[in-house]
Amino acid sequence: MSTVTSRRGASHDAPSARPPSASRRRRSLGRPQLFAAWALTIPFLIVFAAMFLVPLGYAGYLSTFTSQLVGGQVFSGLANYARALEDPSFWAGLGRVALFLFVQVPIMLVIALVIALALDTGRVAGSKFVRLAIFVPYAVPGVVATLMWGYLYGRESGLIAQMISSVGLTPPDLLSPQNVLGSTMNIVSWEFIGYNMIVLYAALRSVPTDMYEAAEIDGAGPFRVAWSIKIPAIRSAILLTVIFSVIGSFQLFNEPNLLYSIAPNAIGSDFTPNLYAYNVAFRNQDVNYAAAIAFLLGFFIMVISYVVQLATSRKERLS
């Protein structure tokens, strides 16, 4: 064992450098510390309240009124919520993002994980460049990304269509009503694979390497190491990317909103719940109903995120 560790250098001391045990931090804070804690967090709390809680509360308040172009605003309790629950446009959008979630998120996260694992082996040539190249799309604003992809998707002049027709095939219309969801998935994957890859890669770098050495000595190959050690070790980072992706899917807005200007009939005004809320607020001029839709969507996201978390933490306890 000693020869293996010495080759790995710095990791030699890893076990003794572990953080102090949790019980030592349980001590209650003294008065000066308490004061400092409040002084340091209050600026955040003020901004948080002003920029987040107050608008949220106000939107919640608005959602309990019904406004009409003729007649103005009247209190209507939960009528807007009842209306949303019976609104086929709301459900259609929710169904679409659910489909998006079940198809796009696994593909995106598996690709991100595979790349992160490959980079972590240290066997990828030019790994710094690869890492940067995959991450760069995340740095491109979503607006620019969608406009760029919209151009590539173009049926007559788009690069993809031209490549397909140059080999004698008929290019599909990537912006048709049937294909536009898939085209959106592609844009979102392109944007966020790099982001998720970096999160997972960073988690992998913090796994103590002595575990790999032990596995190597036991005769495990790189795939076995990845499957049995690395992936379980970064479970919490994977869970984080899953939760972010679930929330991101439900809140899909930028991409369809921009594609709307290129393919308005394929996207429609209710492609995703957020796009629908936006259109209800600013085209239909019904802010109250839009607020109710936004709240209902927030509720769905909360429930689903909770279910995902619960499911994974139960698995953890069982194993």
Partner 1 sequence: MALVSVAVVTAVALSACAPSNGGTDAGQTTAPVSQAEIDEAMDTETTITFWTWVPDIQKEVDLFEAKYPKITVDVVNVGTGTAQYPKLRTALKAGKGAPDVAQIEYQYIPSFRQTNSLVDLTPYGGAELEDSYVEWVWNQVADDAGVWSVPQDSGPLGNLYRSDIYAQAGITEAPATWDDFAEDAKTIKEKTDSYISNLPGNDPGQIVGLFWQAGAKPFSYDGDKTVGIDLDSAETQKVVSFWQDLIDQDLVSTDADFNDAWYQGFASGKYASWQTAAWGPVFLQGTAADTSGKWTAAKIPQWNAGEDVSGNWGGSSNAVITGTKNPIVAAEFSKFLNTDPESTLAFANEQFLFPTTTDTLSSPDFIGTESEFYGGQKVNELFAGVSDTVSTDFQWLPFNDYVYSSFNDTLGKAIADHGDMSAALTAWQDAVTAYAKQQGFTVE
SS3 205: helix
Write each residue from 101 to 140 as x if it is in contact with partner 1 (CB under 8 A), else as -, in one continuous string: ----------------------------------------
- Residue 220 interacting with partner 1 (CB under 8 A): no
| Using rule CB under 8 A, residue 304 touches partner 1 | no
Does residue 65 sit in helix, strand or coil? strand
Q: Is 63 in a helix, a strand, or coil?
A: coil
Residues 170-209 that bind partner 1 (CB under 8 A): 177
Q: Is 59 in the site for partner 1 (CB under 8 A)?
A: yes
81, 185, 199, 270: residue in contact with partner 1 (rule CB under 8 A): 270
Give the interface segment with partner 1, choosing from 23-31, 94-102, 110-118, 257-265 (CB under 8 A).
257-265
Structure tokens at 100: 């998006």
- Binding flag, residue 281, partner 1 (CB under 8 A): yes
The residues with which 65 forms a beta bridge, in sequence order, are: 75
- Please name the helix (run of DSSP H) or strand (run of DSSP E) that holds residue 75, with its range, or none: strand 72-75
Q: How far is the C-alpha of 66 from the C-alpha of 84, rounded, in Å?
A: 13
CB of 6 or CB of 265, closer to partner 1? 265
Helix 142-153 / helix 159-166 crossing angle, nearest 10 deg? 30
CB half-sphere exposure, 247, CA atoms < 13 A: 11
Count of residues in contact with partner 1, rule CB under 8 A:
52
Give the Å distances, CA to CA, from 199 to 131, 170, 228, 234.
12, 40, 20, 10
Q: Which stretch binds partner 1 (CB under 8 A): 37-45, 64-72, 129-137, 309-317?
A: 64-72
Percent composition of the chain: helix, strand, coil (DSSP 3-state, to 5):
75, 5, 20
98 versus 220: smaller Cβ distance to partner 1 = 98
Binding interface with partner 1 (CB under 8 A): 52, 55-56, 58-59, 62, 67-72, 142, 151, 154-157, 177, 244, 247-248, 251-254, 262-266, 268-270, 274, 277-279, 281-285, 287-288, 290-291, 294-295, 297-298, 301
